[in-house]
Amino acid sequence: MAKTMLIELEQVNKIYNRGKANEVRALRDVDLRVAAGELVCLKGPSGSGKSTLLAIIGCVFPPSSGRAAIAGRQLARLPDRFLTIHRRETIGFIFQRFNLLPALSVRDNIILPLLPLGVPPKECRRRARVLLERLGIAHRENFPAGRISGGELQRVAIARALINNQPLILADEPTAHLDSRLSHEFMAIMAELKAAGKTIIITSHDPLVAEHPAIDRVVEVHDGRVGDTAPEDHA
Ligand SMILES: Nc1ncnc2c1ncn2[C@@H]1O[C@H](COP(=O)(O)OP(=O)(O)O)[C@@H](O)[C@H]1O
Ligand SMILES: [Mg+2]
């Protein structure tokens, strides 16, 4: 049986500041297909286009040209408002510095993505509770996010990316500011999420990510172009 493709990019280009003196061609004729359930590492030097590629996959903006279908929707055909709805339903983001609000409780940080969706407060709390238990931080539920450890913060950021049961998880250089113990722990959680059926894309030049046994595929990004390699090639 053919695999379900969650991400299908065809001849995707992204040009910032088109037609101006500071025009940048950030992506050039990118073809990329990712099947549901894959764990992929986008690897490449700074400025190569990884974050731009992740933004297109993440439905933050459509490509300047080419075709991008994410979870069965062609981005170019979606008006902005629907792109936002599609993003909220489909994608969980994990940011490099986690982007948590230190004064808010752990629970309130986790349920933040549910607020624009009008999910009733009781249901928000129930979902947060399930994820906090699953990630082993239930005892931190009412703590301000500014008062918990780095490892706990990482779990809160992951829980927030899962709160709407999104099928696709995107993480942009998640280990850039983590020590090796927390980086290992991060990848162990990603491996568990993959086993639970999530599709995950991680940008990184950290070998600890690219060479992790749970990674199915490393996609090299160079000057806005991509090329595939099997993870074995990096051993
Ligand atoms: N919002 C933007 N406006 C203009 N140029 C940008 C913008 N974002 C990224 N770029 C440029 O696009 C290229 C790719 O950047 P980026 O996708 O952030 O690469 P990476 O994540 O691999 O470091 C770089 O030359 C960068 O300077
Ligand atoms: Mg980047």
Reduce the secondary structure of 30-99 to three states and give it as a string: EEEEEECCCEEEEECCCCCCHHHHHHHHCCCCCCCEEEEEECCEEHHHCCHHHHHHHHHHHEEEECCCCC
Query: Does ligand 1 come within 6 angstroms of the Cβ of 130?
Result: no
Q: What is the pLDDT of residue 229?
A: 57
Using alpha carbons, list the distances in angstroms from residue 134 to 128, 150, 174, 223. 10, 18, 20, 40
Query: What is the model's pLDDT at position 80?
Result: 87
Residues with a beta carbon under 5 angstroms from ion ligand 2: 50-51
Kindly tell me the burial class for residue 119, based on how many C-beta atoms sit within 10 Å of its own C-beta (0-12, 13-18, 19 or more).
middle
Q: Which ligand is nearest to the CA of 44?
A: 1
Q: pLDDT by residue for the chain (235 residues), tens digit each? A: 567 899 999 999 999 999 999 999 999 999 999 999 999 999 999 999 999 999 999 999 999 999 999 999 998 888 888 889 899 999 999 987 788 999 999 999 999 999 888 899 999 999 999 999 999 999 999 999 999 999 999 999 999 999 999 999 999 999 988 899 999 999 999 999 999 999 999 999 899 999 999 999 999 999 999 986 555 544 4
* Alpha carbon of 94 to ligand 2 centroid (Å): 13
Provide the whole-model pTM. Answer: 0.92
CA of 224, closest atom in ligand 1? 14
Question: Domains in the chain, ordered, with CATH?
Answer: 5-234 (3.40.50.300)
Nearest ligand to the C-alpha atom of residue 15:
1
User: 50: Cβ below 6 Å to ligand 1?
Assistant: yes
Q: How far is the CA of 154 from the centre of ligand 2 (A)?
A: 19
The ligand 1 atom nearest the CA atom of 173: 21
d(CA 93, CA 202): 10
Atom 26 (ligand 1) nearest CA? 47
pLDDT score of 228: 64
Q: Of the ligands numbered here, which is closest to the C-alpha atom of 96?
A: 2
